[in-house]
Amino acid sequence: MANNKQERLFMNWQWFHRLGSPRWFYEKTDAWVPWLVILAWGLLLVGTVWGLGFAPMDAKQKDSYRIIYVHVPVAFISMACYYIMAIAGAVGLIWKMKLPYMVMKSAAPIGFAFTIIVLATGSIWGRPTWGTWWEWDGRMTSYLVLSFLYLGIIALQNAFQSRDTADKASAILALVGTVNIPIIYKSVDWWYTLHQPASLNLTSAPKIHISMLYPLFTMIAASYIFFTLVLILYTRAEILRRESKTQWVKDLASGVPSKGDKA
């Protein structure tokens, strides 16, 4: 009995320290990737078809509301991505591990791409709804600022000669951004109500029917799984780049068979 408990504690500790090993991560995720691809893209397609073709039409916005099925889920993950990025940076700073920094670096362009999706779909959605291509509403403006935060991280990452300095500096910036995001969001929200008190918020659908929610939940789940997939893919590529001098990467490159390589 005591042995089991000790074993379990030992395993937990091991697991945490293994997180410091990029090679472990790379080899572990080999098996995960194909499943994640199937799950993510499967759910995306199911949710898309459901939302586009089978969810009932909205009374006010007619069929243009269907943009919600891509706009809202990606909005959620673009925010989640920033927090993952910041947490990875914090872990890297505190425990001085390599892998978290690689995850942090991978998350930045992904999150930025997500904010582009949110801004583009939000803008396109605004056109038939409000008649203008850009509307400075609270949500959209917050996401615009979020995209700037991502750009700052990406720019800082690429500005330094030393990989180590770039990582630490970006981690600090990401953490500073994290503290600011709620403040920014609240301020922009307040600013918007100040200037347009009676207007409806674009991204809160007025009366949403339960049958409209199912495809939305599907898409939200799909987007989180997709984010996990893509973050892993980018991190794997980053691992190889950074660890190119190690034997295991050299073996991988020259085709020496080890544990198999799917994506």
Partner 1 sequence: MAKSPSLFGATFRRDLLLAFRHKGEMINPLVFFLIAISLIPLGIGPEKALLMRIAPGILWVMALLATLLSLDNLFRSDFDDGTLEQLLISPHPLYLSVLAKVLAYWLATGLPLTLLSPVLGGMLSLPSGAFIALCSSLLIGSAAMSLIGAVGAALTVGLRKGGLLISLIVMPLYVPILIFGASAVTEAARGNPFDVQLAVLGAILAIALLLAPLATAGALRVSVNG
Partner 2 sequence: MKFQFDSVDAFLKMGGHGAFVWASYVIVYAILIYLTLAPVLSKKTFLKQQKKLLHLQKKSPENSQ
43 lines the binding site for partner 2 (CB under 8 A): no
Restricted to residues 73-132, the positions that interact with partner 2 (CB under 8 A) are 74, 106, 110, 113, 116-117, 120-121, 124-125, 127-128
Contact 16, 97 (CB under 8 A): no
Window of 21-29, 71-79, 115-123, 189-197 that interacts with partner 1 by CB under 8 A? 189-197
Q: Please enumerate in sequence order all residues whose Cβ is within 8 A of that of 139, keeping only pairs 6 or more positions apart, or say none.
A: 75, 122, 201, 202, 203
Considering CB distances under 5 to 8 angstroms, the limit depending on partner class, which of partner 1, partner 2, none binds residue 160?
partner 1
Cα-Cα-Cα-Cα dihedral sign, residues 217, 220, 226, 232: negative
Residue 186, Cβ neighbours under 10 Å: how many?
12
Cα distances (Å, whole numbers) of residue 254 to 249, 250, 251: 9, 6, 5
Contact 14, 91 (CB under 8 A): no
Give me the 136-175 binding string for partner 2, x by CB under 8 A, dash otherwise. Answer: ----------------------------------------
Torsions phi, psi for 206 (to 5 deg): -55, -65
Q: With respect to partner 1, which residue has the nearer C-beta, 39 or 145?
A: 145
Q: Please enumerate in sequence order all residues whose Cβ is within 8 A of that of 262, keeping only pairs 6 or more positions apart, or say none.
A: 30, 31, 33, 34
3-class DSSP state of 62: strand
Q: With respect to partner 1, which residue has the nearer C-beta, 159 or 213?
A: 159
145 lines the binding site for partner 1 (CB under 8 A): yes
| Residues engaged in binding partner 2 (CB under 8 A) | 37, 41, 44, 48, 52-57, 62-64, 66-67, 70-71, 74, 106, 110, 113, 116-117, 120-121, 124-125, 127-128, 211, 226, 229-230, 233-234, 236-237, 240-241, 244, 249-250, 252-255, 263
| Residues engaged in binding partner 1 (CB under 8 A) | 145-146, 148-149, 151-152, 155-156, 159-160, 162, 164-165, 168-169, 172-173, 175-177, 179-180, 183-184, 186-188, 190-191, 194
